[in-house]
């Protein structure tokens, strides 16, 4: 799955993201792989097709990769094709995609050579009948025998991680279509609090502790932007001094715990662990 990563510069706009898999340049990982921890992604929801403007980056047509010229379709409407799917994971996790976004292997996304960015497609694994809806925000895979490159989460749900590839059908899903409405209706709704559980109670992750409140607040602000989960700074007395604990929670349950731990590890907080917030009764 070799890819050629080109910088997102206005004077040299072409491709970025998943165009190269040679393990060089900005990537320190020689071979791609999944997450280090076992993560249950069976319930990661499909992408929901919605109207979006074309991305500023990644839609140049034609473009050239490894000596071959590719043309971007003017619209995804009516697109349907069959071919081989592959997947990409941790090697590209946190790096820039072709349309300038950040690749998250736990999101339902994909790379395609010719669909406009972004597009939404339904992918059916023809070997087992499983289906997912993904948002196309990247370019690739640049192999003659590959049709689409799926995120780790999408490949997980399609049951194709072990083999690495699968025969699939790819069909465009247009915003406002019956398929898009159905995908929206399947989105999980937040579960109500358990009986007797205070709004401030529940499970939380202890992320770090600092001797100064300003540093704790800075880390809390960073985590809030990174994970979109509640973050609290809690002072605690220890040996005549005050420590400021940064805690993530109460957790919403919208993301797998393994995914959150992976993000914290990548952000430099590998020691996060579950604790009970006051009022949880634990």
Return the beta strands (E) in the chain as ranges.
63-65, 68-70, 80-88, 109-112, 119-125, 131-138, 148-151, 166-172, 203-210, 231-238, 241-248, 273-276
Nearest-10 Cα torsion for 87, 44, 132, 134: -70
Sign of CA dihedral 50, 54, 60, 62: positive
Which H helix or E strand runs over 179? Answer: helix 178-185
Q: Give the Å distances, CA to CA, from 271 to 82, 148, 155, 206, 213.
A: 44, 36, 28, 8, 20
Other beta carbons less than 10 A from residue 262's beta carbon: 19
How many CB atoms lie under 10 A from the CB of residue 38?
7
- d(CA 131, CA 125) in angstroms, rounded, equals 6
φ/ψ of residue 137, rounded to 5? -135, 15
3 state SS of 138: strand
Does pTM top 0.85 for this prediction?
no
What domains sit in the chain, N to C, each tagged with a CATH number? 10-185 (2.40.40.10), 203-276 (3.30.70.1070)
Q: Dihedral angle at the C-alpha atoms of 177, 178, 181, 182, nearest 10 degrees? A: -140
pLDDT in tens, the chain (282 residues): 444 433 333 323 334 344 433 334 345 567 888 887 777 788 788 998 999 999 999 999 999 999 999 999 999 999 999 999 999 998 888 788 999 888 888 889 999 999 999 999 999 999 999 999 999 999 999 988 999 999 999 999 999 999 999 999 999 999 989 888 888 777 665 444 444 333 333 578 888 888 888 888 888 888 887 777 888 898 988 777 888 889 988 887 777 777 788 788 877 887 788 775 554 443
Closest CA to 121 of 82, 64, 165: 82
Closest CA to 95 of 110, 105, 85: 105
**With contact defined as beta carbons under 8 Å apart, do 94 and 266 qualify?**
yes
């Amino acid at each position: 799955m070799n890819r050629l990563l080109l910088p997102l510069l206005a004077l040299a706009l072409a491709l970025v993201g998943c165009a190269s898999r040679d393990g060089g340049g900005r990537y320190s990982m020689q071979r791609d792989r999944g997450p280090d921890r076992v993560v249950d992604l069976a319930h990661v929801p499909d992408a929901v097709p919605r109207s979006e403007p074309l991305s500023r980056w990644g839609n140049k047509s034609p473009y050239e990769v490894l000596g071959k010229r590719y043309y971007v379709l003017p619209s995804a409407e009516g697109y349907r094709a069959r071919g081989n799917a592959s997947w990409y994971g941790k090697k590209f996790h946190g790096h820039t995609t072709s349309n300038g976004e950040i690749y998250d292997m736990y999101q339902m996304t994909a790379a395609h050579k010719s669909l406009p960015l972004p597009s939404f497609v339904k992918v059916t694994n023809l070997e087992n009948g499983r289906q997912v809806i993904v948002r196309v925000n990247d370019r690739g895979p640049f192999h003659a025998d590959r049709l689409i490159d799926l995120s780790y989460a999408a490949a997980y749900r399609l049951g194709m991680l072990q083999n690495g590839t699968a025969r699939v059908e790819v069909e465009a899903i247009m915003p406002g279509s019956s398929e898009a409405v159905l995908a929206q209706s399947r989105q999980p709704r937040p579960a109500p609090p358990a009986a007797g559980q205070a709004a401030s109670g529940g499970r939380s992750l202890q992320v770090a502790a600092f001797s100064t409140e300003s540093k704790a607040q800075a880390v809390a602000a960073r985590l809030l932007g990174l994970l979109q989960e509640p973050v609290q700074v809690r002072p605690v007395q220890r040996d005549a001094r005050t420590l400021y604990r940064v805690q993530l929670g109460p957790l919403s349950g919208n993301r797998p715990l393994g995914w959150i731990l992976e993000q914290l590890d990548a952000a430099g907080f590998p020691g996060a662990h579950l604790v009970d917030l006051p009022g949880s009764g634990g």
